[in-house]
Amino acid sequence: MTKVPVEFTLNTREQNEFVETGSTLLSALRDRLGLYGTKAGCHQGTCGACTVIIDGEPHLSCLTLAERCQGKDVTTLEGLAPAGALHPLQQAFMDGFAAQCGFCTPGMILAAKCLLDRNPDPTRDEVVDAISGNICRCTGYEPIIAAILTAAQGMRKPARKRA
Amino acid sequence: MSVTLSAAKQARLVPAVQAKGGRIIAGGTLIVADLNYGADSVALITLDRLGFDKIAVKGGKVTLGAMVTMAAVARDRRLKFLHPVANSIGGPAVRAMATIGGNLFAPAPYGDMTAALLTLDAEITLHDGKATRKLPIETFLAQRRKLQKHCVVSISFAAPSAGTFHYVKVVRRKPVSASVVTIAAVIPQKAGKIKDARIALGAMAANAIRARKAEAALEGRKLGNDIIATAAKLIAAEASPADDAYATAWYRREIAPVHFVRLLAA
Amino acid sequence: MTRKRGRGMAAVNYPTGMNLGGDPSQALIHATTTGSFVVTLSSVDLGQGLKTVMAQICAETLGVPTDNVIIDTADTDTGPHCMGTFASRGTHRIGNAIIMAAKEARAVMLEVAAEELEVDAGDLVTDGAGAIHVKGSPQKSISIFNVALAAHFKHGKSISGRGIFLQPRSYPEPETGKMTPATCYAHACTVAEVEVDTETGEVAVLSLKSAYEVGRALNPRMVEQQIIGGAWMGISHALYETTEPYYPDRAHGPVDFNQYLMPGPGDLPEFANVVIERPAADGPFGAKGVGEMTANSPIPAIANAIFDAVGVRVDSLPITPEKVLRGIRALNA
Amino acid sequence: MEYRKDYFTGTQTQDLTEVGVTRQRSDVLGHVTGKTQYYADRQFAGLLHLKMVRSPHHHARIKSIDVAKALKVPGVVRILTAKDVPQNIYTILCLIQVEPNDEPVLAFDKVRFKGEQIVAVLAESEAAARDAAAKVKIVYEVLPAVFDVEEALKPGAPLVNEYHGRNYFTYEGHHCRRVRYGDVERAFAKADHVVEEMYQSSPIEHAPTETTGCIVVPDQNDRYTCYSNTQALYFTLDNTALILNSPFQKLRLVGGTVGGGFGGKVDVITEPIAFLAAMLTKRPVKYEYSREEEMQVSSPRAAERIYIKDGLMKDGRITARKVTLYVDAGAYSRHSPYGTTKAAAHMPGPYTIPNVWVDCHCVYTNRTPSSAMRGFGVTIGDFALEVQMDKLARLIGMDPMEFRILNAYRDGDMKAHQKQVEGAALVECVQAAADLARWPLCDRSKTASSLKREV
């Protein structure tokens, strides 16, 4: 196995890694960096459990070659909020009982974050679209959709106050 | 298994790598899935440094670089007519990765953007190692396997006049799944008569195909329920759909006319 | 475009625990020196929330806040035997084992408190907030923190308990099938409303309105999680899922989540749910197992609603658009 | 979610403080922060990856297995075949006296379904294990296969599983699990209507977002720890010890946090071979199903075929129900003999019917063995029963809700398996659902109660 260097930003910190050529970002995050918040559900890009944010957009880390992350800005669930704090989406998923087994939760939250970053006032259909690549087998999606809408509402409130 | 990855510095150098078994990796949604299944050793080549991720719209002519993603199309205000197409492909993560160039090679029941580009009579610019060539998309699709050895540079087409482009993708899971039937159509009218109608079908053959018999039925006629119904009967005449996990060939043939009628009558 | 609506209903029951019993589970409980309680199990949480409900059951029995209970599972070096998490048995079987263990631990805790307060243990009650006091005299009180410290360092007593629950195995009579499959059953009834596209056979589930009798909802939001998730799976079984789309032909078996069809977040109906409680005589605080049942009533309710809408009976699962369309064609032939 | 406290008033304990109230899930903070530790969220130095060579045929004789080329693949550490497994033939429910052992851990003489595991390859990387697995050469003689439950029971059908000697599981001398109560034939003769219908389902996958898998790690003192997402630690531990002829105390299972189960992780497939591999190599071994394996090789919910024949009176009473049910167990028993009995116990549904006849067959075919899934033995039966009930109600022009209430079991009624009904609540569920859906009921149905049968 050949190894190549990759420099990227991971959860706001500079990361320099040697990765095996042809290996995926998913493998780098889990097997090399111990960031287990990114889940492996299918290795085929069909379940969304491995979703991470690259340069502001959701990406499937199982289909992303690690060495192509050179110079990119990668966010995983571990980087969503400062230690000890919760992002409004995390709080809304908790309050809304939107997680059961929890395996899809990291991908769901990151997919939702990409939506809310672009569109702070989404419709239900836009929320549905945002998580359309993420499989959940436990919840029936309804609590997840509700939690994302709740989080969006909560995130808009302070902005309105300022305005 | 060993995988190597290199970034092409010029499009003309790509076919030589391909000739030795190398493969272009665009968004990676198809090829990395294959690698994860355990593909053999392969030299991957990216087009990341070639500036193929540009969208140009000039005088009604649209040029999409091969590396333009579905998400980029879906965000471009100049390409509103293509937004429903781009947004019907995968979830947002797939759209952020999957490219126009890659979609040209997606096997059925994938390849919805290609069906749309087929109705737009797009022209594919590719580099064969010696020179760039331009091929009509239909010719390109007919030789798709062979042309995997060339480097797709861009896809160009004339933006359709307002209201003439129609698109529907029938799915088994909402909002998105692979296609049961995809129908894209450009139905221009001149002096109240249909002129140069183009209809393409996705998931109705190994790759996107034109429905020429249905097109012919529309040609020169006034768009109305009767003529739509007549064309609908011919919509799957040239199709050779497959059975798969989503639907049978029978079902695809049965519902293609229904959705064609709904698409144009709407 | 023709879309026809219909509604249908179905009613079901579901046994709690392994069929025919014979499926024990154990629990061990001990107090830490500072009055937290550790419940040691080898039971598995699949996501239904077993760890949370077990802590609640333990807390209720001990008379302490749920936050004071630590669930230590699942390690076979430390956890006593559990048959496993399946057959809607977890809440019932493990819950009962925990109650038994917690009662034993509570008795020791009250004995120690009685010695400390110099009263009769029979006169003591827990306040549920971390203290023990004499019935009717809240001022005559001792914190569980101090009870636990005293038990360890002064009295040399282990505040602990052992619990097991076993529904004895029933052996069916081979000739007649006489048997005791289960001791309690949960119940459900679902009304489904659907819209059927008569030209494509596609079915949209518009609403699922259900009543569930669960014995006792130990954690209402978590019961609701099972209900919504289960109802979704019911839709999925009714209209989408199979590993063999052309059974018994083995062709075209799905290998990923693109091909394996399940309702997406855009396929959800309106959910409305009512919960009824008829406590089970042998259930922990009356609870029955409900996790599995919640998927069952929506399936036939949807099938019946489709018939109500378009007069087509599809008696094979899943009820795909193709089967519905073929049925409509046959009606019109 | 709304409570209907007006049913069964006075039966609920009132003074509870910790149960009956919503408490936040204790695991949810871990879920939303990605800190919840699933079995695979661990690193071990020297981890080996296990990949299986699987049967490409539905039914075939294995003529030869050649692993020479596979062993030469760089990174391959060891290759296991059936002869490495101490007690290769097992059945998971031997722990509750289900016999006979009928399934090989690794197939050796025959394969009985497509995807059956034959050879385990252990390598330093997943890629190397996969490469080597592709280089194992197995020569097969393809045999005729059977895929239909009723075809499988016909004389002359290909024999799927020699350990049973016939294509069905034997229940104490009977070819099926039976329930006999009253006299259905007499009741059919007297019924106003006799309705017989057939229902069918296809196999269904559990599809947990986390696939089945485990990591086995050699500890100190010749003990082995398995981090697993099994739904039943002791099923796994006990079966593994039996398969490996190992003292039970050598094995330790750690789990308890699972990315969805739904019954799919009750089987014991990945752990025994991973334990064996760790014992033979003295290195940590991971065996995890790919998504494709999870979908096509792991046990699905069985396909069932159900015939229901009912005797019905014009006034709505069901006087007889005869059920013939076939569970498509696939090639091996796994949990299907148990599930088939559960299906028999469930009949004739939550209704009081004086004459009941049930035959539930556990049938072997050359498809992926089926096993437990949410609603095991009941879900498909309920589909058949409740569609049948709808047909019966429509046949006599009776409201389907009122038809359910009329026939619903009440406390004190006798069930077909000769157990008296206790704690019934079907009537009330129907009433509450009717209310919720604004479905009008007649007064008689509104005042009906599970506590007693109205005269």
A116-150 confidence digits (pLDDT tens): 999 999 999 999 999 999 999 999 999 999 999 99
Q: Residues of D with CB below 8 A from B38's CB?
A: 127, 130-131, 134
* Whole-number pLDDT of residue D14: 84
Q: B55-158: which CATH topology?
A: 3.30.465
Asked if residue D23 is part of any domain, the answer here is no
- What is the tens place of the pLDDT at every residue in D402-428? 999 999 999 999 999 999 999 999 999
Helix (H) or strand (E) holding C147: helix C144-150
Residue C47, Cβ density class (10 Å: 0-12 exposed, 13-18 middle, ≥19 buried): buried
Q: Residues of D with CB below 8 A from A93's CB?
A: 28, 31-32
Which of C111, C241, C292, C322 is catalytic? The answer is: C292
Name the neighbours of C, counting chains with at least 3 Cβ pairs within 8 A: A, B, D
Q: Which CATH entry fits the domain spanning A88-162: 1.10.150.120, 3.40.50.300, 2.40.110.10, 3.30.1340.10?
A: 1.10.150.120
Q: Residues of D with CB below 8 A from C70's CB?
A: none
Task: Please list the pLDDT of chain B residue by residue as tens digits (266 residues).
Answer: 689 999 999 999 999 999 999 999 999 999 999 999 887 789 999 999 999 999 999 999 999 999 999 999 999 999 999 999 999 999 999 999 999 999 999 999 999 999 999 999 999 999 999 999 999 999 999 999 988 899 999 999 999 999 999 999 999 999 999 999 999 999 999 999 999 999 999 999 999 999 999 999 999 999 999 999 999 999 999 999 999 999 999 999 999 999 999 999 96
How far apart, in whole angstroms, are the C-alpha atoms of residue B153 and residue B13?
Answer: 12
Higher pLDDT, A157 or A55: A55
How far apart, in whole angstroms, are the C-alpha atoms of residue A89 and residue A106?
Answer: 11
Last residue of a domain, one of C165, C197, C218: C165
Clarify whether residues D111 and D167 are in a common domain: no
* Whole-number pLDDT of residue B2: 83
Asked if residue C176 is part of any domain, the answer here is no
Q: A3-79: which CATH topology?
A: Ubiquitin-like (UB roll) (3.10.20)
* D56, D119, D293 from D67: Cα distances, Å: 17, 9, 22
- What is the tens place of the pLDDT at every residue in C21-33? 999 999 999 999 9
| C117 in Cβ contact with C142 (< 8 Å) | yes
The number of folded domains in chain C is: 2
Asked if residue D335 is part of any domain, the answer here is yes
Q: Is the pLDDT of residue A162 over 60?
A: no
| Facing residue for A21 by CB, picked from B4, B71, B93 | B4
> D261: closest CA among C229, B16, C167, A131?
C229
- What is the tens place of the pLDDT at every residue in C26-65? 999 999 999 999 999 999 999 999 999 999 999 999 999 9
How far apart, in whole angstroms, are the C-alpha atoms of residue D25 and residue A94?
Answer: 8
The number of folded domains in chain D is: 3
Asked if residue D19 is part of any domain, the answer here is no
**CA terminus-to-terminus distance, chain D:** 34
Backbone φ and ψ for C51, nearest 5 degrees, come out as -60, -40
How far apart, in whole angstroms, are the C-alpha atoms of residue C333 and residue C140?
Answer: 85
Clarify whether residues C89 and C194 are in a common domain: no
B248 is written with which tokens? 């049978």
Residues 268-297 of D with CB under 8 A from A: 290-291
Nearest CA in chain C to D173: C174
Cross-chain residue pair A47–D262, CB shorter than 8 Å:
no
Q: Is the pLDDT of residue A1 over 80?
A: no
Helix (H, G, I), strand (E, B) or coil at D190: helix
Average pLDDT of chain C to the nearest whole number: 97
* Whole-number pLDDT of residue A114: 98
Break chain B into its structural domains and give their ranges: 3-46, 55-158, 169-265
Clarify whether residues D114 and D258 are in a common domain: yes
| A78 in Cβ contact with A11 (< 8 Å) | yes
Dihedral angle over CA of C74, C80, C84, C90, nearest 10: -90
Asked if residue D57 is part of any domain, the answer here is yes
Last residue of a domain, one of C115, C138, C165: C165
* Whole-number pLDDT of residue B1: 64
Q: Is the pLDDT of residue A160 over 90?
A: no
Q: Is the pLDDT of residue D71 over 70?
A: yes
- Our answer to whether residue C292 is catalytic in this structure is yes
How far apart, in whole angstroms, are the C-alpha atoms of residue D103 and residue D89?
Answer: 5
* Whole-number pLDDT of residue B37: 87
Cross-chain residue pair B258–C199, CB shorter than 8 Å:
yes
What is the span of the domain harbouring residue D292?
A: 48-142+207-296
- What is the tens place of the pLDDT at every residue in A2-34? 899 999 999 999 999 999 988 999 999 999 999
Dihedral angle over CA of D338, D341, D342, D347, nearest 10: 170
Helix (H) or strand (E) holding B25: strand B23-25
> D362: closest CA among D167, D180, D91, D95?
D167
Tell me, what's the ipTM? Answer: 0.97
Q: For chain C, give the percent of residues with pLDDT over 90.
A: 99
Q: Residues of D with CB below 8 A from B1's CB?
A: 127-128, 130-131
Dihedral angle over CA of D227, D231, D237, D239, nearest 10: -130
**Beta-bridge partner residues of A5:** A18
Clarify whether residues C12 and C31 are in a common domain: no
Clarify whether residues D69 and D169 are in a common domain: no
Clarify whether residues C59 and C126 are in a common domain: yes
Q: Residues of A with CB below 8 A from B35's CB?
A: 22
User: Burial letters for C125-148: b for 16+ Cβ neighbours within 10 Å, e otherwise?
Assistant: ebbbeebbbbeeeeeeebbbbbbb
Asked if residue D76 is part of any domain, the answer here is yes
Nearest CA in chain A to D205: A137
Nearest CA in chain A to D26: A94
B184 is written with which tokens? 């894209």
Say whether residue A47 is in contact with chain C using an 8 A CB cutoff: yes
Residues 43-102 of C with CB under 8 A from A: 46-49
Clarify whether residues D320 and D391 are in a common domain: yes
Cross-chain residue pair B1–D134, CB shorter than 8 Å:
no
As a whole number, mean pLDDT of residues D209-227 equals 96
Half-sphere exposure at residue D201, Cβ-oriented, CA atoms within 13 angstroms = 32
| C285 in Cβ contact with C57 (< 8 Å) | yes
Clarify whether residues D138 and D59 are in a common domain: yes
| B202 in Cβ contact with B109 (< 8 Å) | yes
CATH homologous superfamily of B169-265 equals CO dehydrogenase flavoprotein, C-terminal domain (3.30.390.50)
Nearest CA in chain C to B110: C258
Asked if residue D1 is part of any domain, the answer here is no
Last residue of a domain, one of C165, C199, C230: C165
Helix (H) or strand (E) holding C213: strand C203-213
How far apart, in whole angstroms, are the C-alpha atoms of residue C300 and residue C291?
Answer: 18
- What is the tens place of the pLDDT at every residue in D78-117? 999 999 999 999 999 998 999 999 999 999 999 999 999 9
- The angle at the Cα of C155, spanning C152 to C158, to the nearest 5 degrees, equals 50
* Whole-number pLDDT of residue C126: 97
Asked if residue D59 is part of any domain, the answer here is yes
As a whole number, mean pLDDT of residues C301-326 equals 98
State how far residue A20 is from chain D, nearest Cα, in angstroms: 12
What is the span of the domain harbouring residue C231?
A: 3-16+182-332
User: Burial letters for C204-241: b for 16+ Cβ neighbours within 10 Å, e otherwise?
Assistant: ebebbbbbbbbbbbbbbbbbbbbbbbbbbbbbbbbbbb
Clarify whether residues C150 and C202 are in a common domain: no
* Whole-number pLDDT of residue A161: 53
* Whole-number pLDDT of residue A158: 66
- What is the tens place of the pLDDT at every residue in C148-203? 999 999 999 999 999 999 999 999 999 999 999 999 999 999 999 999 999 999 99
Asked if residue C72 is part of any domain, the answer here is yes
Clarify whether residues D137 and D226 are in a common domain: yes
Q: Is the pLDDT of residue A109 over 50?
A: yes
* C241: CATH: 3.30.365.10
pLDDT band (50, 70, 90) for residue A163: very low
* D160: CATH: 3.30.365.10
Clarify whether residues D344 and D454 are in a common domain: no
| D97 in Cβ contact with D341 (< 8 Å) | no
